[in-house]
Structure 1
């Protein structure tokens, strides 16, 4: 059977390699984004550029959005300036998969708004960063109807190696919020350990070899070790985006009535990094915040 036609909206650091992995897996992909050079990249990989959301989705079986935040997802779904969005232009029974990271409430509102249009929705945010997107090794956490998840499973498996149905609409985004809380905690702990080890004069590579082989080991340490050692933070997942995600965590925690002491501190530290001009750097740049607090030149 022919694979479903995919409309991919959002071709950023994560979206471009993810769309390309679908193309390599045999999916016909039509892409739309605001930057023309990213459409050129998609075309060079075998995809079809579109000039608008309408053009991208009107013949698609599956629509995937991979966008920076809630505002962009809402705008693409509903349209702006009377242009119409995915919900207006998609055919009935289209499967709309939002793989962005947004608030759980945004995911549930999108599913509710899509129902009168006959459009089915999954929230399916991912974890693994740029490297996971390129390698096709992302973790996918999905919320929505089980039948829709099962239909999307082959597509998800072209993008990631851990794919889990987490529950109803919004559940995927709730799990992603917890993921971002844990990742920020690992990043901050690694940053503090590195500054401490350097100040103590310990061989940093030897120390990280040992730490990476014991209970302190983590995917964060493995992925970001070079960033910490070289004090080099090219954007893989930007501080700006993690700042947004920790805002989602703290807001969702307040709505559910739980207290996250460490989460609040991490949100403050990430906000401080952004205020210090590090918003465009990789979130491993939390190291720079620890260095500033410790009086170490950054």
Structure 2
């Protein structure tokens, strides 16, 4: 297929790379030096989102936040200006479920379909093509997008109609964030008590406390290596979306609120572009 890909960040680069390697004709926007290898591998760089939408049958977005998606879709020379009937937009960013439904309606006015398909798995999952993909779409649109999702991920689930994928991702980010906090507190306790935190982590991986977070981020905490990965500032954005949703639904999420405050402190101390496991570094401070 002719695929457009906009958003060549830490996760977007390997995702686009898998599509190119699978033999699809991939049109790229915002190619920088760090993503030039995608052109060398067979991708085609274009100078606007509009040009990508004109060239491609399916346009995939992987950008940081709700305003970024809106700008790429509806800004000057944006995707919407290059769409025609029968094309599809797949947003794999993590953004507001409410905004997602609005964007889908506006794209629908162009005769194009819209799928929200945020992902979990971080840079490791993107590189390994093992991402969890949470999809909001009609059954027909899900079936059409499935062959592309299979190239980028392993655990692919249609949650429901448009917007449901983003809701699932917000839930994911709450659980991931609170689990990171729990692992950080536990390993900090082990270290302060004089135990070998690497051995503690190793022992726990064989018990009921075992988790992907303990495995991957626990190792980062033990080694104190916090290069992203997934940045704290981006995870904080997602927790903000959860808090907004909770407020709209008249729910209380006290631990998510506490996590948001911790992430705010981390960003104030210059850790915003570190991996979200760097919460451990914040906790170590007296």
Q: Distance in 1 between matches of 2:130 and 2:173?
A: 17
Which digits, 9 at most, give the CA deviation of each residue in 1:199-234, with x for residues without a partner?
111122221111111111111111223210111100
Which digits, 9 at most, give the CA deviation of each residue in 1:127-166, with x for residues without a partner?
0000000000000000021110111001001000000000
Q: Which position in structure 1 is the counterpart of 2:67?
A: 71
Q: What are the residue-to-residue correspondences of 1:179-190 with 2, within 5 Å? A: 179-190=172-183
Q: Which position in structure 2 is the counterpart of 1:22?
A: 19
1:271 aligns with 2:267: no
Tell me how many residue pairs correspond in the alignment.
Answer: 286
Correspondence for 1:96 among 81, 86, 89:
89
Aligned residues of 1:104 and 1:171 also touching (Cα < 8 A): yes
Which digits, 9 at most, give the CA deviation of each residue in 1:91-114, with x for residues without a partner?
211110000000101111111111
Q: Which position in structure 1 is the counterpart of 2:110?
A: 117
Indicate the SS of the match to 1:165.
strand
Correspondence for 1:147 among 137, 140, 149:
140
Q: Which position in structure 2 is the counterpart of 1:42?
A: 38
Q: Which position in structure 1 is the counterpart of 2:101?
A: 108
Aligned residues of 1:120 and 1:148 also touching (Cα < 8 A): yes
Aligned residues of 1:178 and 1:249 also touching (Cα < 8 A): yes
Aligned residues of 2:48 and 2:78 also touching (Cα < 8 A): no
Indicate the SS of the match to 1:280.
coil
Unaligned runs of 5+ in 1: none
Unaligned runs of 5+ in 2: none
Aligned residues of 2:53 and 2:80 also touching (Cα < 8 A): no
Offset of residue 39 of structure 1: 4.5
Q: Which position in structure 2 is the counterpart of 1:12?
A: 9
Which digits, 9 at most, give the CA deviation of each residue in 1:225-270, with x for residues without a partner?
3210111100210011011111001001111222111111111111
Aligned residues of 1:59 and 1:90 also touching (Cα < 8 A): no
Offset of residue 41 of structure 1: 2.1
Structure 1, 211-220 or 95-104: larger mean CA deviation: 211-220
Offset of residue 12 of structure 1: 0.3
Q: Distance in 2 between matches of 1:225 and 1:57?
A: 41
Q: Distance in 1 between matches of 2:134 and 2:34?
A: 26
1:291 aligns with 2:284: yes
CA RMSD, aligned part only?
Answer: 1.1
Aligned residues of 1:31 and 1:48 also touching (Cα < 8 A): yes
TM-score normalised over the length of structure 1: 0.94
Q: Distance in 2 between matches of 1:258 and 1:163?
A: 28
Q: What are the residue-to-residue correspondences of 1:151-190 with 2, within 5 Å? A: 151-190=144-183
TM-score normalised over the length of structure 2: 0.97
Correspondence for 2:214 among 221, 240, 244:
221
Aligned residues of 1:60 and 1:90 also touching (Cα < 8 A): no
